[in-house]
Structure 1
Amino acid sequence: MRKILIIAAAFAPLAACSTVAETVRGPELAPIGYPAALVPVQQAYMPAPGGRDATPASANSLWRVGARTFFGDQRARHVGDILTVQISIDDQAQTRNSTQRARTNSASGGVTHFFGLENSLGRAFPGGFDPANMVGTEGAANSAGSGSVNRSEKVNLTIAAVVTDVLSNGNLVIQGRQEVRTNREVRELTVAGIVRPEDISSANAINHTQIAEARISYGGRGDISRMQTTPAAQSLVERFSPF
């Protein structure tokens, strides 16, 4: 038992650190469920076999110098290939619920004969005793609740993603990251998920609605984001305060 307590005490600070880090930095995106873990952000690319010093074709050849293929499909299929992800989110949701409940009940009971002592009980209760109303109960309950949701989101962005893995059934795992810096503010866009090769258009592009297990994040960091963020001490107090 003592060993268990020592182990629990050793891992308790780790759990606390994780909670504190989440409070300070904000919630993290959940990992993709299939496959179980998101691929590393740093993607290694495979150099072209034989290098880029290809022998140029003759002047009458239909083959263009530097072309990757002649009749082949130019859409992303292999690890390291790039495809365009078009993000166009325009969602609106409005929900309003209201519930009211009320209930009242009462019950009473009496004893007409109780070993002939029903009349003598009045002496023990100087305030008066009625055998016909010897037992009585009453109850009342009221409940009222209401809730509403009004949400509107609109995002239009385009990002290039990299194929990071090819699953056994041919589906592609993609991941893209884009950062744009303006003065002292960095806007960051990340996208990850699983796509079918059949859904990729002839322009080597795909819509975000065709990405399974999609994880899309758009935010920023810098002076403006820091001024709009709740201070860390205030976030800790609001999270752990019992009141």
Structure 2
Amino acid sequence: MTQHRTMPLILALGLAACSGTPVGRPPPLSPPAANPEARAIATPDLPPPPPPSGVLRASTSGSLWAETPAPLLGARRASARGDILTVVIDIADSAQISNRTARSRQGAQQAGAEALFGLGGAALSPGVDIGSGSTFSGDGSVRRSERVLLRVAATVTEVMPNGTLAIAGSQEVRVNNELRELLVTGYVRPADISRLNEVSYDRIAQARISYGGRGQITDMQQPRWGAQILDAALPF
């Protein structure tokens, strides 16, 4: 009899462990090798083609021709698959919209017949009397303010045929039992990368930026899975 009573409790605890953060343990970090950044770094592009036959190649340290990717002046910018650059996310958006609409319409029609087929006493005045009226009014307003300031290192995952760089970056920080996660993907032109090897978020095409987290605090801010099912199922 006791076994039958404990089975529902075990199932409930199992569902609770699967639906959120494991009980008594912090949220796990994502393995580094399971993302496109690690694959791009571990699988570099093909080596560059050799220089033309007329170019002199010397092995001395004072040669102008260097087989290393480092430039002569300035810091090296990301340009090939596997290179790393810094994405600067500085979002300070503010929007305020207010709309007001009012509409009113009235109409009246009246028709009568003093005589009908020679009958003077028809007494059909008015014969038809129609009136209509409508009124509509609406108000709407939107006020939004956002401020996000973040920096994350991203990796060039692919070089497109036109030279555009596909980048992807991820960052996870775990404090106690709460994990904060930052993800960014998009396409960058090499000319938009600064001399400090940085690119602003507003110069990333098809930018996808996600900043959130998971853990005990995040789980407490969300309704339980039973309440979510009822909210989706109930029509009222």
Q: Verify same fold: TM over 0.5.
A: yes
- CA distance, structure 2, for counterparts of residue 48 and residue 170 of structure 1: 14
2:193: which partner in 1?
200
Give the AA of the match of 1:42. Answer: P
2:110: which partner in 1?
108
Give the alignment of 1:95-174 within 5 angstroms.
Answer: 95-116=97-118, 119=121, 130-174=123-167
Aligned partners of 1:98 and 1:147 also within 8 Å: yes
Which of residues 214, 221, 225 is equivalent to 2:218? 225
2:36 paired with 1:42? yes
Secondary structure of 1:233's aligned partner? helix
1:69: which partner in 2?
70
Secondary structure of 2:36's aligned partner? coil
Q: 1:48/1:240 Cα in 2 relative to 1: closer, same or farther (>3 Å)? A: closer
Aligned partners of 2:45 and 2:81 also within 8 Å: no
RMSD (Å) for aligned C-alpha atoms: 2.9
Deviates most, 232-241 or 103-112: 232-241
Deviation at 1:118, TM superposition (A): 6.9
1:212: which partner in 2?
205
Structure 2: runs of 5 or more not aligned: 1-18, 21-33, 48-59
2:89: which partner in 1?
87
Give the AA of the match of 1:153. Answer: E
Which of residues 171, 174, 185 is equivalent to 1:178? 171
Q: TM-score, normalised by structure 1?
A: 0.67
Deviation at 1:68, TM superposition (A): 5.0
Question: Taking every aligned residue pair, what percent have the same amino acid on both sides?
Answer: 42
Q: 1:119/1:197 Cα in 2 relative to 1: closer, same or farther (>3 Å)? A: same
Give the AA of the match of 1:109. Answer: A
Secondary structure of 2:113's aligned partner? coil
Give the AA of the match of 2:174. Answer: R
- CA distance, structure 1, for counterparts of residue 235 and residue 119 of structure 2: 56
Q: 1:47/1:165 Cα in 2 relative to 1: closer, same or farther (>3 Å)? A: closer
Aligned partners of 1:108 and 1:136 also within 8 Å: yes
- CA distance, structure 2, for counterparts of residue 48 and residue 171 of structure 1: 15
Count of residues in correspondence between the two structures: 185
Aligned partners of 1:118 and 1:131 also within 8 Å: no
Deviation at 1:138, TM superposition (A): 1.0
